[in-house]
Structure 1
């Protein structure tokens, strides 16, 4: 049975590694927005290839700690190897929906583009509250606006598959800043803040764009395009994206605090 994280396990070797600015800038911006400081204990949920984990490790320094968990074993193996020279970093397979750590274990719980993938984001927020010390901080990122060209390109890719996929809909809590504030507050957090970030991604050509799509969740769609349809797909994408291809992605950076009481 296919699991939600299987696509990331399959894409692990190429994830964020095809020469395109995307999750890296988002991860660094989230760490900065969270105000992670030297000596703090950080949990990075859904650590992937370390977009949040490595800037967080630099921020906490040798006196702090960063624990990265991910459900994709290949992601964990590669990120653990990359972090081998950082004694303050631990990387392990772990469930982002309900991480298995004692209450009050962390000063910061961070998630970069992960929360909306979980089966029950609201329940996950309550679980993270338990893991934080009183006064500890939650920080997560989520998409705000996709480039229209990207949306159209993914539609075109889907049309060239044997069975066009259903476009997934994010849970309602991600609909707007108001719904995000409400969901985070209902999970028991105070002081909710939401910042905006726009990341510009540029590609050499259409083949580079498809290599990038293949390196993340889009792989699940692209890999369903038969090889004989690849030329037709490239021809159909040409009028959809600029030459050379480029796109802008809007992201929300959400922060909150576990009340001290």
Structure 2
């Protein structure tokens, strides 16, 4: 199952299972890039609107936010959720190569998206071309997962018939300096990288496993046979104390045109 298929499959549950994770991370990107009234914003890989919705509130009725995603389910759900908003457009579109004229936007946001792309440096260069003079880019990536999350995923993998291969991350996501350098090389000035922690709370193992199945972790969960999932959930329940909190460190990167 490829990345688009995974996100299409989880689109109904994504960011909707009662766990604070994607929303606070996306809101950190919006705070950093600070859309203003009247701005035209492009949100690439918009998902269920974690960054798009706060951006739409900030640009107001004189601005506009366009969200693109390659997962049809994400587009359908988010289009329905924003159907009453006159300053929002949701459409199928590729975060690697957004199909818009040069200098179309004041702001581009990409919340936890770039590391999924086949060529992140090329995408950054494209974003620079799509921004007007004075435009701003804001994107985020992971710095460090909670170590107990990594162990939880290894426990799930023990029950998997054929776990998916681990994805290799592009070197630009390796450090604060590599992120700053890649953003600068794409043409952006005043590049800044800020690290912050996001805490996510889980009441029990069933909620944690359900949350894993609501995002890209679904690719691993689906490889666990249905008749072994209760056993896998119990193994996770035995590993952690409940309720539990995971702390995830992310990096928020901004740059100016």
The two structures have a TM-score, normalised by structure 1, of 0.96
Map 1:54-133; keep pairs closer than 5 Å.
Answer: 54-133=53-132
> How far apart, in 2, do the equivalents of 1:158 and 1:165 lie?
9
User: Are 1:194 and 2:193 an aligned pair?
Assistant: yes
TM-score (ref. length: structure 2): 0.97
Cα distance in 1 for residues equivalent to 2:30 and 2:193: 14
| Distance apart, 1:128 and its partner CA | 0.4
Structure 1 residues 190-234: Cα deviation after superposition (integer angstroms, max 9, x where no partner): 110111221111112100001100100000100111122123212
| 2: CA distance, partners of 1:176 / 1:69 | 27
- 2:10 pairs with 1:11: yes
Contact 1:105 1:133 in 2 (8 A): yes
Matches within 5 A, 1:178-217: 178-217=177-216
Offset at residue 4 of structure 1 (A): 2.0
The correspondence of residues 154-193 of structure 1 with structure 2, limited to 5 A, is 154-193=153-192
CA distance in 2, matches of 1:240, 1:172: 32
Please give the root-mean-square deviation of Cα atoms over the aligned residues, in Å: 1.0
Unaligned runs of 5+ in 1: none
SS of the residue 1:215 aligns to: coil
CA distance in 2, matches of 1:143, 1:38: 29
- Which residue of the partner structure matches residue 255 of structure 2? 256
The separation in 2 between residues aligned to 1:202 and 1:246, in whole angstroms, is: 4
* Post-superposition CA distance 1:158-213 (Å, at most 9, x none): 11100233222211000000110111111111110111221111112100001100
Which residue does 2:150 correspond to in 1?
151
Partner of residue 37, structure 2? 38
Residue 115 of structure 2 contacts residue 169 of structure 2 at CA under 8 Å; is this kept in 1?
yes
Indicate conservation of the 8 Å contact 1:69/1:93, yes or no: yes
User: Aligned with 2:242: secondary structure?
Assistant: coil
Q: C-alpha separation between the residues in 2 aligned to 1:37 and 1:217?
A: 32
For the Cα contact (< 8 Å) 1:149–1:240, is it kept in 2?
no
- Identify unmatched segments of 5+ residues in structure 2: none
Q: How far apart in 2 are the matches of 1:187 and 1:239?
A: 47
233-242 vs 98-107, greater mean Cα deviation = 233-242
